[in-house]
Chain A
Amino acid sequence: MNKQSLQKSAASGLVFGIIVIFLALIGFTVVFSGLIQKVLGQSLGVGQIPRIGNFFIFLGFLGIWNGWRAARQDSHESLTLPKVLLRAFVAGLSAGVLVMVYAVVVGGLDARGVDMRTYLSMLSSDSIKFFLFNQSVAMGGLIHVGFSTLMAVVGGLLAFGSEKSQEQVKATRTKVQNWSQRTWLGKVQGNPYVSYVLMGVVLLLLVLLPRTWGAYWNYVMGTVGIYVLLGLGLNIIVGLSGQLVLGYVAFFAIGAYTFALTTSPEPHNLVWNFWIALAVSVVAAALSGVLIGLPILRLRGDYLAIVTLGFGEIIRILLKSDLLKDFTMGPRGVRNIAGPTLFGRSFTSDVDYMYIIILAVLLSVFLAKRWQESSIGRAWLSISQDETVAQATGVDTYKYKLLALSLGAAFAGLGGALFASRNQFTGPEDHALMVSINVLCLVIVGGMGSIPGIVLGAFVLKGLPEILRELESYRLLVFGALLVVMMIIRPEGLWPARRPKLERPVEPDQEPAAVAITVGGKQ
């Protein structure tokens, strides 16, 4: 047993201790224990302190994880029982002792009547007592040490067990694979009709779901759909052509405001038809992409990011300013934006909007796929890989970057117009920097350059926060942590892009004369 591995265990234990202390400091321990209580089906009033047992479950989970991690330091070595136990014990003990020190300090201060809330708003006397399991300071600290160590050892044992059973798992997996290939499952895989059937099921769901799941989910999923549009557009700019544009929201705003100003009775009294206004918004956004791109696309990397960041903010501030108040209604925003009409009927219910957004998403996915898989997409990708070399290979980088920016902007314009129409309102604050950041996040989380990745990313980024609503104010914290974890586990994105297989076999007798003719001859 070497000293180094024990040091490692102790260090990883200390990290877990720090995590526990951090979570306690921000009051997360109480909220999460409450959540566990709710999940277990027990009621919990607002502002009530949950039962201690749930805190044990929470701590136990962290402790097991701690022990597991400490036990499996190196994936190559084979584990032995005493090794595992010792490591987990050390890790659990060091985490527990650290937590105990914290508990004693905070508990002691609290016992002396110091109000910790002056410093950290979440450290009420109740939450400190909760952290000490409603015991005395010394007793609470000792329970922390004991429980942490115990759970770490359990975690270590679990790690040991899983290591030993791994081979069995592998054997079972190949057995299942063999079985599935022999039976009908093997025939289903790789059968082209299967994908048609799947597509049909998805289409059926897309038709049926908006009617059944209610206004709230239509709203949430409509937002997801609009973000899919934005993601597809930004994917062309960032994921394919590799230009880090941080002011993407500007095109969203231009689309939304073009639509708003052409369909609202105020301020211009242009009450255009929905579909015409929609097309005009898309074109306006695309044109603005060209106009902005002309001067700035000679910049690269960080400089481009900074300039476009500024551009996004300028648009928002302009929309808000007194200067354009008569034109854009200033900070009040534009109201009474028109809804869609067709053959004299208006479609303005949440279900109708959901259908329109679904149609827009399907159309955009189709177009984005076409471009991505074409020679245009190839040229974009080459620019993102090495711009200098792409140009020297004959790619007109300036033209292609401009094209990427304007096509990407067109998607944002479509998203913006639908967004404004659905809300019947748009104001400058709808177009803040966070939109750009969110869209960039969803492109990266989903997988750069991958269309299914974008769709998945939009669901995760815009749908997950809704699911996490139970966590109240810790929603964004957990969300951020999940994003970090996701990026650690899958750095290339949830659904990374794949390259197509294109090589065609060459008949030997055609060589090398054919090449000589085509390469030297087509001049």
Chain B
Amino acid sequence: MKTVLETRHVSKIFGGLVAVNKVDLVVPEGAIASIIGPNGAGKTTLFNCISGFYKPEIGQVLFNGESIHGMLTDKIAAKGIARTYQNIRLFKNMTAVENIMVGFEPHLEHGWVAAMLKTKGYQKEEKYIIKEASHLLHYVGLAGLGDHLALNLPYGAQRRLEIARALANQPKLLLLDEPTAGMNPQETDDMKNFIRHIRDDLGITIILIEHDMRVVMDISDQISVLDYGQKIAEGTPKEIQANPRVIEAYLGPGAAALSEKYRKEKTHDA
């Protein structure tokens, strides 16, 4: 299968702290790949390296086989990587529809002169993206809320709006940073199905940072585990669940043995 994203030995160093340490990641097309790990493991830093917020000190980021190392974020977005943020970052004082319309920016063809003269082509383009933005709004389940300011939307709607804005970029790869943070079980479930829909309907490859293990185990094709900036495990959900290093990273040294013992006792009792 074709590889969409590949990181080779990516390292990001802040002063003396190695936040991401020689991480290799290969994401095949159409996959939902999750990155998990304890707090401060470097997950978001890795996202920032991929989307161009940070320039890794060492290593390469390849998107569709092409190096995007050191490119500006807008160029990377135009190439087809869109993202959302851990703490929601919308354009707060713009309406929901406008937020999405900004997402179409890399695909706009008309400049300030056309806008001044209101040329036919410009008007057509505007009409088109207004229509498309309304469609996207409907798609993420926010139909009817389009003319509200982003800051006035409820929390869950803001998360969805962020995704809609990212989808407006028409990406090939979507980076979701904790999309279910702060949601109740019902909302989390909806979001999980929604993420799956994005992949199935639109064929967009997704990389997911997520703390909710039920979500991760349910929808991931591939899971990578980071701890102290290093990738300590990779595999399918089943493999990760059984991996002693992962359990120790989450629960501390010795936890793997304990959990093994617990599992044996449980099967014994049964």
Least CB distance, A236 to chain B, in whole angstroms: 11
Interface string of A374-386 (1 = CB under 8 A from B): 1110110110011
Those of B98-153 within 8 Å (CB) of chain A = 98, 101-103, 105-108, 110-112, 115-116, 118, 122, 125-126, 129-139, 143-144, 146-147, 149
Measured CB to CB, the closest approach of chain A to B146, in angstroms, equals: 3
Q: Indicate if the CB atoms of A371 and B133 lie closer than 8 Å.
A: no
The interface size of chain B toward A, counting residues with CB under 8 Å, comes to 66
Q: Closest CB of chain A to B34's CB: distance in Å?
A: 21
- Closest-by-CB residue of B relative to A512 is B139
Mark out the residues of chain A between 385 and 406 whose CB falls within 8 Å of any chain B CB in the assembled complex.
Answer: 385-386, 388-397, 403
A314 to B80, CA, bound (A): 44
Question: Given contacts A376-B112, A501-B147, A520-B204, are A393 and B105 in contact (CB under 8 A)?
Answer: yes
Residues facing B in A490-519 (CB within 8 A) are: 499-506, 510-512, 514-516, 518-519
Q: Contacts A378-B102, A499-B95, A502-B97 hold; do A392 and B134 have CB atoms under 8 A apart? A: no
Q: In the complex, A407→B113 CA distance in Å?
A: 11
Q: Does B93 contact A (CB under 8 A)?
A: yes
Among B76, B89, B91, the one with the most A-chain Cβ atoms within 10 Å of its Cβ is: B91
Q: Nearest CB to that of B131 among chain A residues?
A: A504
Contact status of A375 and B77, CB under 8 A, knowing A499-B98, A506-B135, A512-B201 = no
Q: Does A187 contact B (CB under 8 A)?
A: no
Q: Separation in Å of the A491 CB from the closest CB of chain B? A: 14
Are A506 and B143 neighbours in the complex by a CB distance under 8 Å? yes
Known contacts: A375-B101, A511-B139, A520-B204. The answer to whether A396 contacts B74 by CB under 8 A is: yes
B83:A392 contact, CB within 8 angstroms: yes
| Residue B53 at the chain A interface, CB threshold 8 Å | yes
Contact B139 A379 (CB under 8 A): no
Scan residues 227-264 of chain B and give those whose CB is less than 8 A from a CB of chain A. Answer: none
Q: Is A211 an interface residue (CB 8 A)?
A: no
CB pair A407–B112 under 8 Å, yes or no, is yes
Cβ contact within 8 Å between B201 and A397: no
Contact B115–A375 (Cβ < 8 Å): yes
A367 within 8 A of B: yes
Tally of chain A residues near chain B (CB < 8 A): 43
A335 to chain B, nearest CB (A): 36
CA distance in complex: A500, B95 (Å): 8
Whether B181 is near chain A, meaning CB under 8 Å from some CB there, is no
Number of residue pairs A-B, CB distance < 8 angstroms: 157
CB-CB contacts below 8 Å: A133-164 with B = none
Q: Is the CB of B147 within 8 A of A510?
A: no
User: B212: shortest Cβ distance to chain A, in Å?
Assistant: 24
Interface pair B112/A371, CB less than 8 Å apart? yes
Interface readout for B54-72 with A: 1 if CB under 8 Å, 0 if not? 0000000000000000001
Contact A390–B91 (Cβ < 8 Å)? yes
B95 touches A502 (CB 8 A): yes
Q: How far is the CA of A370 from the CA of B146 in the complex (A)?
A: 22
**A392 and B53: CB pair below 8 A?**
yes
**Candidates A371, A394, A519; contact of B77 at CB < 8 Å:** A394
> What is the minimal beta-carbon distance from B131 to any residue of chain A, in angstroms?
6
Q: Which residues of B contact A499 (CB under 8 A)?
A: 93-95, 98, 147, 149
What separation, in Å, do the CA atoms of A392 and B82 have in the docked complex?
8
Determine the residue in chain A with the shortest Cβ distance to B102. A382
**Are A403 and B98 touching (Cβ within 8 A)?**
no
Contact of A367 among B103, B116, B139 (CB under 8 A): B116
B188 within 8 A of A: no
Task: Determine the distance from Cα of A522 to Cα of B168 in the docked complex, in whole angstroms.
Answer: 11
Asked if B85 and A389 make an inter-chain contact with CB atoms under 8 angstroms apart, the answer reads: yes
A376 and B115: CB pair below 8 A?
yes
B135 pairs with A511, CB closer than 8 A: yes
Question: Is B18 part of the contact surface with A, judged by Cβ < 8 Å?
Answer: no
Closest residue of A by beta carbon distance from B116: A370
Give the 6 A-B residue pairs with the shortest CB-CB distance, closest first.
A503-B146, A394-B106, A374-B115, A394-B77, A385-B91, A392-B73
28 A–B contact pairs at CB < 8 A? A370-B115, A375-B108, A375-B115, A375-B125, A375-B126, A375-B129, A381-B93, A382-B91, A382-B94, A390-B102, A391-B74, A392-B52, A393-B74, A393-B166, A394-B105, A395-B105, A397-B74, A403-B112, A502-B95, A503-B95, A503-B97, A503-B144, A504-B130, A512-B201, A515-B135, A518-B135, A519-B170, A523-B172
Query: A residues touching B (Cβ–Cβ < 8 Å)?
Result: 367, 370-371, 374-376, 378-379, 381-382, 385-386, 388-397, 403, 407, 499-506, 510-512, 514-516, 518-520, 522-523
